[in-house]
Structure 1
Amino acid sequence: MKLDERTFIALDLGTSNIIAYVSKQGIVYNEPSIMAYDTVTNSLLALGEEAYAMLGKTHETISMIVPIKDGVITDLDAAKDMLKHVFGKLKMLNDWRNSIILLACPSEVTELEREALKQVAYDMGAEIVVVEEEVKMAAIGAGINIDIPKGNIVIDIGGGTSDIAILSAGDIIISRSIKVAGNAFNEEIKKYVRSEYNVTIGDKTAENVKKELGSLAKYKGEKTMSVFGRDIVSGLPKEAIISSEEIRNVLVNAFSRITDMVIEIMENTPPELAGDIISNGFMLCGGGALIRGIKEYFNGIFSIPCKISPSPMTGVVEGAQIYQKVINRRIENGYYGKNAKDLRKSGQSQYI
């Protein structure tokens, strides 16, 4: 099959959302990475937005499954099932045959975890599978020209992990991944409400609090918000009134671990690249980049200007779309060697 006849599919398998890009069609799917199963019949009831709407409101015979946690596939069968249902729903299962797949993963995913990611794509019928780091794709999607020998630092704050990397001359110079991101922020909010108000709230409520009140710096129009949960003493429904300032203190405390990681990376940055970083500033990507005051927060700590990606949520697959040219060029130059099926039989690697 000719190269231009093969379908190119890019997948951002995030802890919070799965985003799929298909060549000549654009982004075809962008929904929460959660599934609802009927445990009696072992059948899928809902996925994506429909399943997310059921979160915290189901009975004991419905199991809510998140096959990807902290950027790692924790349930391989469920992940495969999710992709089959997603592309089946879109009537695009045939697009997987002989396709080229790019999978975006966190910086510190292990070799075994990468192989698990690849296996899902191969089982769906892919011919060649390329695994690239999310932060690299996010940088390209944010408009950074990573090919030139000039240092850029990218902070990609997703749902399960935050990835920090310095890129130059076409690739990553140094990168780190930390499991402090959107879901961890939600957990900290839940802990705070429980300890301060003796109220237990759910994941969706914590997410709403983060979106409505979350900030890392003071802003105009700060407000309070009513949340409802269960009193940990009486077990009865109870209301708590939470302010923007309270949630800001929670988030600033959680973000301190991310800034510590940034400091560690910058301490290990080659001196020649340090000057580039000062002039270029930070590029903030991922859903966490949408938190109010994040630019002021990082600028206040590091005295370095910050920019937010034009597409924080979809920048990874947008970067993958651009990176398709690199993959095609490498295929034409024989970079991937023999046919991918032969390589799989011999146990050789097919990812970059």
Structure 2
Amino acid sequence: MAKKPLFVSLDLGTAYTLIYVSKQGIVYNEPSIVAYKIKENKIVAVGEDAYKMIGKANKNLRIVRPMVDGVITDVKATQAQLNHIFAKLRIQQLLKGSVMLLACPSLITDLEKKALEKIAYSLGASKVYIEEEVKMAALGGGVNINSPSGQLIIDMGGGTTDVAVIASGDIVISKSIKIAGNVLNEEILKFVRSQRGMEIGIKTAETVKVKMGSLAKYPDERSMKIYGRDVVSGLPREVEISPQEIREVLKISIAKIIDLTVRVLEETPPELAGDIFRNGITLCGGTALIKGIDKYFGDTMQLPTKIGDQPLLAVINGTKKFEQNIYDQLREESFKQKSNKEF
């Protein structure tokens, strides 16, 4: 029996890049950020190290997000980022002849898929598979995707939110919207500027979202002091914001995700809609960690709602669980090729 090729899966998210290697587990989980020295066009930092430079980089540095709204905006930066990561992990040699699974958003075009495949092959892969993130998120979030019973999954990542109905191992219907964690950060930033007259950085906005973002009142609510630059005077200052203010900001964007969910349900076959009424909604992705979001969806949609297992890791955990499926597909392909030759 031929030796199994190494299985590697990647979740190239807008906010985070995650890499899983067979028998080693998740070997990389850091922000999708690359810092370049402009003059030499050379990478000086990737991931956490580059993230720390946001808003603090000097004029000689360029901070790049290779993925925006779930799709590759800079192919060269993505390739350089992955080369840098695999070199740092010292597993470049292991990638030769490997099988790679790439998770992608529902909105991705055939051209963008080809760009992903090209990057994977350049890293040494002998075979590349692409699966939708929402399907992998469902699997990683604890949903039995192979059941004939319909399941409604909402995967809220950094750049996009995917809403899908899954049954019998595949997606029946899915829709995507470019509203997710990054948009929530931007809305908080805009709110502080317009209502408090203070400029803050995107990292501060994200900290506010993570620490006090909620869609329902929670125990020990407290206001939070944040720091920035006064819009009028340009001088440093601080303001205090309350959880209630942030709730109202977040609800505007979350309402658009709920509207998308309603549109998906309107196009769902009646039998599967009946299953969803019983099975409810599963929320995955980093935005699923906002306090009270499951109750908010449940009350608004009048459907039981739960947060999937390890929502931040749902997609990469799903690819891990999908590993055997990939090996099964390879075995089938090999068998067909052998049969055709014999024929």
Q: What residue identity is the alignment partner of 2:44?
A: L
**How many percent of aligned residue pairs carry the same amino acid?**
49
Pairwise CA RMSD of aligned residues?
A: 1.5
4+ runs of 1 displaced by more than 3 Å? 335-339
Residue 36 of structure 2: aligned partner: 37
Moved more, 20-29 or 138-147: 138-147
CA shift for structure 1 position 335? 7.7
CA shift for structure 1 position 337? 7.4
1:337–1:259 distance in 2 versus 1, CA, 3 Å: farther
Q: Write out aligned runs for 1:78-93 (5 A).
A: 78-93=77-92
CA shift for structure 1 position 2? 2.8
Moved more, 14-23 or 327-336: 327-336
Residue 350 of structure 1: aligned partner: none
Distance in 1 (CA, whole Å) between partners of 2:299 and 2:147 is 29
CA shift for structure 1 position 41? 2.1
Q: What residue identity is the alignment partner of 1:86?
A: I
TM-score (norm 1): 0.94
Residue 241 of structure 2: aligned partner: 242
Question: Secondary structure of the residue that 1:29 maps to in structure 2?
Answer: strand
Question: Secondary structure of the residue that 2:175 maps to in structure 1?
Answer: strand
1:288-320 residue CA offsets vs partner (Å, 9 max, x unmatched): 110000111001101111111111111111111
Distance in 1 (CA, whole Å) between partners of 2:151 and 2:83 is 37
CA shift for structure 1 position 221? 1.2
Q: Write out aligned runs for 1:232-271 (5 A).
A: 232-271=231-270
Does 2:51 match 1:52? yes
Moved more, 182-191 or 326-335: 326-335
Residue 2 of structure 1: aligned partner: 2
Residue 342 of structure 1: aligned partner: none
Residue 16 of structure 1: aligned partner: 15
Does 2:188 match 1:189? yes
Is the CA contact (8 Å cut-off) linking 1:330 and 1:336 kept in structure 2? no
Distance in 2 (CA, whole Å) between partners of 1:312 and 1:128 is 28
Distance in 1 (CA, whole Å) between partners of 2:332 and 2:34 is 41
Residue 162 of structure 2: aligned partner: 163
Residue 341 of structure 2: aligned partner: none
Distance in 1 (CA, whole Å) between partners of 2:177 and 2:272 is 23
Runs of 5+ consecutive residues of structure 1 not aligned to the other structure: 340-352
Q: Write out aligned runs for 1:297-308 (5 A).
A: 297-308=296-307
Q: What residue identity is the alignment partner of 2:217?
A: K
Q: What residue identity is the alignment partner of 2:104?
A: C
Distance in 2 (CA, whole Å) between partners of 1:93 and 1:122 is 13
1:252–1:311 distance in 2 versus 1, CA, 3 Å: same
Q: What residue identity is the alignment partner of 1:313?
A: L
Residue 278 of structure 2: aligned partner: 279
Question: Secondary structure of the residue that 1:155 maps to in structure 2?
Answer: strand
Question: Secondary structure of the residue that 1:218 maps to in structure 2?
Answer: coil
Runs of 5+ consecutive residues of structure 2 not aligned to the other structure: 339-343
Q: What residue identity is the alignment partner of 2:69?
A: D
Distance in 2 (CA, whole Å) between partners of 1:234 and 1:126 is 55
CA shift for structure 1 position 145? 1.4
Question: Secondary structure of the residue that 2:296 maps to in structure 1?
Answer: helix
1:173–1:118 distance in 2 versus 1, CA, 3 Å: same
Does 2:124 match 1:117? no
Aligned residue-pair number: 338
Residue 213 of structure 1: aligned partner: 212
Moved more, 78-87 or 142-151: 142-151
Q: What residue identity is the alignment partner of 2:159?
A: G
Is the CA contact (8 Å cut-off) linking 1:102 and 1:132 kept in structure 2? yes
Residue 344 of structure 1: aligned partner: none
Is the CA contact (8 Å cut-off) linking 1:284 and 1:308 kept in structure 2? yes
Question: Secondary structure of the residue that 2:311 maps to in structure 1?
Answer: coil
Residue 348 of structure 1: aligned partner: none
Residue 296 of structure 1: aligned partner: 295
Residue 178 of structure 1: aligned partner: 177
CA shift for structure 1 position 321? 1.2
1:82–1:337 distance in 2 versus 1, CA, 3 Å: farther
Distance in 2 (CA, whole Å) between partners of 1:335 and 1:200 is 59
Question: Secondary structure of the residue that 2:244 maps to in structure 1?
Answer: helix
Is the CA contact (8 Å cut-off) linking 1:290 and 1:312 kept in structure 2? yes
CA shift for structure 1 position 182? 0.3
Is the CA contact (8 Å cut-off) linking 1:34 and 1:52 kept in structure 2? yes
